[in-house]
Amino acid sequence: MPATQRRGRRIMMTSDELDVFLTEQRTCRVATVSTDGRPHASTLWFAWDGTSLWLYSITRSRRWADLRRDPRVAVVVDSGEEYGELRGAELSGSVEFVGEAPRTGEPNSSLEQVERLFAQKNFGLDEMPHDGRHAWVRLTPESIASWDFRKLATP
């Protein structure tokens, strides 16, 4: 169970609001730790299955190499332009690698649902196109902090 957010309870999303938000959003920012100890941030599309955030990463990327060496990660999903519209979530924990790397489309029951979700959300397709360059990483968050500044306008 993710740790409870201690501050900002007034603007914290409920679990239902967070689920809807993560299901609707498309882009996240992924922060990893590089070999020299410096953070590395990059942007990815993702899928949310109600429990875990699924990242489809290029296997020849700095992000992939960082996660192979150190699976700790922080991911931010956010939206809004004006201050009163800002909302988002930071999910953190350690990732797991799922399926073959790179992914070629071999049958894998662990990936059926997420690939369908990802393909529909990002490509408008019912089946996942595989390019032999990407593979799956799953983050089941240990900690989640969320915010929805639109709640500040509500008395």
Decide: 79 and 88 in contact? Cβ < 8 Å: yes
Whether residue 8 lies inside any domain: the answer is no
Task: Tell me the pLDDT tens digit for each residue of 57-82.
Answer: 999 999 999 999 999 999 999 999 99
pLDDT at residue 144 above 90? yes
Whether residue 112 lies inside any domain: the answer is yes
pLDDT, residue 4, reads 52
Structural domain count, the chain: 1
Whether residue 155 lies inside any domain: the answer is no
Band (155; pLDDT cuts 50, 70, 90): low
Band (2; pLDDT cuts 50, 70, 90): low
Instruction: Round to whole Å and give the CA distance between 59 and 103.
Output: 9
Whether residue 3 lies inside any domain: the answer is no
pLDDT, residue 152, reads 86
Task: Tell me the pLDDT tens digit for each residue of 106-127.
Answer: 999 999 999 999 999 999 999 9
Decide: 5 and 12 in contact? Cβ < 8 Å: yes
Domain span at 107: 15-148
Whole-angstrom CA distances from 30 to 10, 110, 121 are 26, 22, 19
Q: Tell me the CATH number at 138.
A: 2.30.110.10
Whole-angstrom CA distances from 120 to 20, 23, 36, 142 are 16, 12, 38, 27
pLDDT at residue 5 above 50? no
Q: Are strands 27-33 and 72-79 parallel, antiparallel or unpaired?
A: antiparallel
Decide: 18 and 30 in contact? Cβ < 8 Å: no
